[in-house]
Structure 1
């Protein structure tokens, strides 16, 4: 379990808290209410309209909305054979009143790197940061791993990757969307795949290569 400091802000006020994450699900407590979810746009908990705004559905459920967050994530960077570490501050904005956007700032021992614009997807924001890094510096995270993919039918702003490390051999031979969907179905039936966050990493990480096919924009 990892802990990420958070500054949360909405029309009801501002507070500091922490996110607990296992790499798939996030948990955080705001104003004495616990919220859980895989995406910043899919945080759910006990509904209290006196303290929060929600994206509501006909079945009575709803997700937290119309807020901003600054979240600090540690992240690993490889420079040749040398492993370094940095910290990414992610500014998240969600809701109908304000367009959902994300922007990142990476702080390292060799400088700071910021998005030139706000993005709709965490994937695109992290890819821009990678493109700003010095040559041979590579972000080591689930997004850059050869064993992760997004589903061809789409994904949310954050945390929509799925990990195929339990199907490594099959994953290495996927070469198109049809094959990915078949492997996805097998992974779900055998309970061998699970969602992961773009900035997470594990000991089984392997960088995506030019020979690998992947349904994501990382290269």
Structure 2
């Protein structure tokens, strides 16, 4: 996967700083005031290996970045009546334990389509946006892909816990329910960010086989 980088802002008790967020679809990387943070989820960003102790510079909870706000925009692929288009997704994330605060807005066609004000994770926030988009407009990222699913258990993390089954496409096309996904779990290609998109994207079925554990998007079970 090729890295993508997005410009944004970081705010905490010491002030506000411009930052660059980088991801390869799996790992997130963020440099703040010359210090590198990395992790597989936005609520799991830790100082990179070998970094001196940052406890006095940043608010860390169990070694993870906390008590701060991140804002960033990224280009976001959609389809309108089957034609690929480019939208823009604005993200506002307050990292404060125990519950992060996430708000997303998709700008497309001169209008803004918003999530709820305090979503608990990217999957739910993107599902909220999909529900309010005009007919014929569909998100085209991993959360809406035919080959992605969450582990069949209650709850999920803020981001990055979405399993990709692009290496077992034919088998996943027949998955319908918890048991089928459990049988395929070890065939996953890895985990991806919900906002990521790759060339192997296919729209998720609306019902039946191929909807896996979480069901059709945006009518998710998890």
TM-score when normalising by structure 1:
0.89
Q: Which residue of 2 aligns with 1:80?
A: 81
**How far off is 1:214 after superposition?**
2.8
The question of whether the paired residues in 1 share the 8 Å contact of 2:82 and 2:136 is answered with no
Residue aligning to 2:123:
123
8 Å CA contact 2:176, 2:213 repeated in 1: no
3-state SS of the aligned residue for 1:41?
A: helix
- Alpha-carbon distance in 2 for matches of 1:52, 1:110: 38
Structure 2 equivalent of residue 201 of structure 1: 197
- The separation in 1 between residues aligned to 2:65 and 2:137, in whole angstroms, is 36
Q: Give the match for residue 103 of structure 1.
A: 103
The CA deviation string for residues 106-125 of structure 1, in whole angstroms up to 9 with x for no partner, is 11233111224321111111
Kept in 2: contact 1:146–1:214 (CA 8 A): no
State the partner residue of 2:214.
216
Calculate the TM-score normalised by the size of structure 2: 0.88
Could you say what secondary structure the match of 1:205 adopts? Answer: coil
- Cα distance per residue 1:104-147 (max 9 Å; x no partner): 11112331112243211111111111111110100100000010
Runs of 4+ that moved beyond 4 A: none
Between the aligned partners of 1:215 and 1:4, the Cα distance in structure 2 is 31
Quick one: distance in 2 between partners of 1:116 and 1:19?
Answer: 23
1:174-217: CA deviations, max 9, x gaps?
A: 122122122112x2xxxx52111111101110001123323336
1:32 is matched with 34
Structure 2: 5+ residue stretches without partners:
none
SS in 2 for 1:174: coil
Deviation at 1:64, TM superposition (A): 0.9
Greater Cα offset, 26-35 or 135-144: 26-35
Deviations 1:61-109 (A, max 9, x none): x21111111121211110113211111111111122x731111111123
- State the 1:155 CA deviation: 2.5
Could you say what secondary structure the match of 2:42 adopts?
Answer: coil
CA distance in 1, matches of 2:116, 2:211: 28
Secondary structure of 2:125 counterpart: helix
Structure 2 counterpart of 1:55: 61
Asked if the contact 2:180/2:212 (under 8 Å) is kept, the reply is no
- Segments of structure 1 that go 5 or more residues without pairing to the other structure are 57-61
Aligned length: 208
